[in-house]
Chains A and B, each alone.
Chain A
Amino acid sequence: MFRAVKTEKFFVFRFAGIFWKIFFCLFIFSAFFLLLSLLDLFSGIFALRMSIIFLALFLLFWELSLFSNLKLKSDNLREIDAELSDAVFAPEGYNFADFLSFEACKIVEGAVKFCRRRKIYEINSTSLFYSAIRNGKETKTISYRLGLNVRKLQEDSQNFGKNSKAG
């Protein structure tokens, strides 16, 4: 799963979701120009070339986006047969990181980085909370629903993290 987090950070995978939408819109526009070229308003070859290029790029990024969302991000959870309760009772036989979802993995990785940057030698709940607010989409959604100011919450938890290190 950590590999999936790393892969998702890769430029192509990270922006694939935006790119396929952009290229899809461009493809629709270029198809419209292709229709106009039938009325000799545009060069037919140019419009055709643009349509095909945008279609190819749309399909490429759509494929990458699907691969990232459907395979890389959700693969790990499907592969584990064991229950979390089994792992709790026999922790030596399991790697707990295997039970993390993609989102949770991103949060843990963010917390590890935060602690490393601040030279905090223990990944505490504050760093996890800070990372959850910063990197977790669902945490942000819950915070917004609760009417919390996410930015202020981020700053507060960051400051608390710094102070706890100093203390």
Chain B
Amino acid sequence: MESAERQNIFNTWFLWHFYETPKFLFSVWKNFIRFGSNYFSIPLLLKTFFSPWRRYRWLYPKGFDIVEFFNTLVSNTFSRILGSICRAVLITFGVIFQIFIFIAGIVVIIFWLFIPLIVIAGLFFVNYDF
């Protein structure tokens, strides 16, 4: 009876360690990636990459006024360039963050799966003669 219970505990542990916890870690990893994507709004920033900075834009003259036309064109172009620079910085930060999360997730999950092996190897190391 006791050995059956012990066996059952071992099975419970095995299932928990190699199935339930990795599944949970994957969901945590997915949440972090989603968080990074939402926080830095990478898809939205890519969609609106060349939009004017803070929607600062000037209306073109209605009549024929070449000076005012070029004045507006240059201003709008600068607003768009400024917007794209700021968005590029944010996208870069976002991508670095996502890469960090991606690598950290892989490391954590692999480390978790290898814990029993590390423990066994470490305890085996006690009796090892150099």
Contacts of B5 in A (CB 8 A): 3
Contacts A3-B5, A71-B12; A63 near B17 (Cβ below 8 A): yes
Report the number of A-B residue pairs with Cβ-Cβ less than 8 Å: 40
Within 8 A of B (CB), among A56-71: 56-57, 59-60, 63, 67, 70-71
Q: How many residues of A contact B (CB 8 A)?
A: 16
A55 touches B9 (CB 8 A): no
Q: How many residues of B contact A (CB 8 A)?
A: 18
Contacts of A45 in B (CB 8 A): 130
Instruction: Check if A53 is an interface residue, CB within 8 A of chain B.
Output: yes
B115 touches A59 (CB 8 A): yes
Instruction: Check if A52 is an interface residue, CB within 8 A of chain B.
Output: yes
A7 to B17, CA, bound (A): 17
Contacts of A55 in B (CB 8 A): 118, 122
A59 touches B122 (CB 8 A): yes
Contacts beyond the supplied A49-B125, A55-B122: 15 A-B pairs with Cβ under 8 Å: A49-B126, A52-B125, A55-B118, A56-B118, A56-B119, A56-B123, A56-B125, A57-B122, A59-B122, A63-B17, A63-B115, A63-B116, A67-B13, A67-B16, A71-B12
